[in-house]
Amino acid sequence: MSSSGERRPGPRARLSDALGRVVPRGSRLLVTLGLVTVVIGVAILLFQDAVPLVSLLVPLVVSSLMLGPRQLPWFVVFLLLVLALVVPAQDPLTLRIIVTVVIMYGLGFLVLLSSFRRSRLGVAGLQGEQMFVDLRDRILRQGGIPALPPDWYVAAELRSAGGTPFAGDFVVAARVADRLEVAVVDVSGKGEAAGTRALLLSGALGGLLSALPPSEFLDAANTYLLRQEWDEGFATAIHLSLDLTTGHYEMRCAGHPPAALRHAGSGRWEVIEAEGPILGVLDDAQYAATSGEMRPGDALLLYTDGMVESRTRDISLGIDKMLGQAERLLRGDFEGGAARLVDAIGSRNDDRALLLVHRR
C-alpha cells in the first residue's frame, strides 16, 4: 500500500506519459499531419468521385503554418510522395487532373522554399510571427507615456506609411523623479522597411533615456547608431526634458523638425528652433540645449517630418499648415488632440508621429 502522502497518477496522466514515450511532444503535430495525409490519400483511392486530389492541400497549408523549419521539408516531401502514388489511380486521367497535380506540386515547392528561408529564424510560421508581434508590443509598452501628475496631459500618436503597426517613427518616454524624459525619433526609411531598425533602436533609446542625464542622451544615441554600421544608419530625433513641478524644460535636437509651443496668454504658436547634427553620421557631434518654461495652459508639439513635409511642399509651409490646423482642432480641448491632428494633416505616404504636451 502506498503512503498517504503519495498520489497515484490518474488515467489521463498515465495515458499522456505513455504517449510521450511513443511519440515525443515536439513530433505529435508532425505525426498527426502524416496520419491525416495517409487517410486523405486512401480516401482519394477508394472514393475518387467524392474526395478530390485538392483535399491534400489541407494538410499542406496547415503544415506551412504550424510546423518548424526542421520538420516542414520532410513533411512536404512525404505529402508529394502520397500525391504521386494516388495520381496514377485516377480514372480517367483528364487534363484537368494533370493541371491540378502540376499546381499542387508548384505549391509544395513554394512551401519548401519558404521553409528554407524560415530556417534562419528557427521557428514555425505562426510562432515566428507571434514572437515578432510580442517584441513589438513589449517595446511599444516600454515607450508608452508614464503616469503623470493631474495637471499634465501628454499623448503620442503614430501612423505608418503602409498602414501597418511597424513604422520608422517612434516615441520613447520615461519619468525620472519629477522629470519627464521623452524623445520623438525618425529612422531613415519608412513603413515596414524601417520597422526592424526602429524596433531595435526604440528599445535601446528607451533604456538610455532613463539611465542617462538629459545632457548625455543624444550623445549616447549617436554613439549607439554609429556602432551599428547600418547601410541606412542615420536618424533624426528631438529630446524633451520637462520638470513636472516647475514647467521648466530643456530641448535638444538632432536634425529634426523644430518643436512648437502654444502660449496660453496670447493663444499664438511659437516655433522653437534647436539645431544639431543627425544621429549616426558624426562621431563628435554636439547637441546644445534650448530651454524655456511651460506655464499653465501652454501646449507643446513634437513631431516628425511626415507631419509637415511632402514632395510638393516645403517644410516651413508644412509647419505653418500644421499650426493652423492645431489652432483650429485644439482650441479649448486638448484631450485626444494628438489623434485629431495626425488624422487631419501629414503625408499618407510617409510615417507620422506626434507628441502633444499640455499643462492644464
pTM: 0.72
Average pLDDT over residues 38-52: 87
Q: What is the pLDDT of residue 244?
A: 94
pLDDT at 3 over 50: no
CA-to-CA distance for 74 and 121, rounded, in angstroms? 18
Query: Domain residue spans in the chain?
Result: 11-122, 130-359
pLDDT at 1 over 50: no
Look up cell 524596433; give the residue: 199
Question: Which amino acid is located at 109 in the chain?
Answer: F
CA-to-CA distance for 241 and 230, rounded, in angstroms? 28
pLDDT grade for 157, boundaries at 50, 70 and 90:
confident
**Structure-block grid coordinates of residue 204:** 535601446
The CB density around residue 153, as the number of other CB atoms within 10 Å, is 18
The CB density around residue 14, as the number of other CB atoms within 10 Å, is 11
Between 235 and 134, residue with greater pLDDT: 235
Q: Which CATH class is domain 130-359?
A: alpha beta
What would the pLDDT profile of 236-278 be if each residue is shown by its tens digit? 999 999 999 999 999 999 989 999 999 888 888 899 888 889 9
Between 162 and 206, residue with greater pLDDT: 206
User: Poorest-confidence range of 90-94, 230-234, 274-278?
Assistant: 230-234
pLDDT at 319 over 50: yes
C-beta contacts of 285-290 below 8 A and 24+ residues apart? 285/218, 285/219, 285/222, 285/254, 287/218, 287/219, 287/239, 287/252, 287/253, 287/254, 288/252, 289/214, 289/215, 289/250, 289/251, 289/252, 290/250, 290/251, 290/252, 290/253
Q: Is the peptide bond before 92 cis (omega within 30 degrees of 0)?
A: yes
